[in-house]
Amino acid sequence: GALTLDDAAQVLQSSQALPLPESGVIDFGGLMQADSAALAVMMALKRRAATEGRSLTLTGLPASLRSLAVVYGVEHYLVDAAS
């Protein structure tokens, strides 16, 4: 699927109505199209987990999205997202 500026606000809003996964892992392996808005959603999810006193691991991030995180200097927010 896609997570871009076109749908990021809706995805983030929808995620607020759901509990974070018990496993502490969100798998983005099915993400085929993403932009900087996807990074913003991911960072918001990580901040939410920290606020709730939980850890959250993001897995399956496409290499292009990890590269974009480096360009924006936010890769440290996603350090556990190497897979």
Residue where the block lists tokens 């896609």: 2
Please tell me the predicted confidence (pLDDT) of residue 48.
96
Q: Stretch 34-43: mean pLDDT, rounded?
A: 95
Q: At residue 32, does pLDDT exceed 90?
A: yes
pTM confidence score: 0.88
Asked if 64 and 36 count as a contact pair (C-beta separation under 8 A), the reply is no
- Strand residues in 1-83 grouped as ranges (E): 2-3, 25-27, 33-34, 57-59
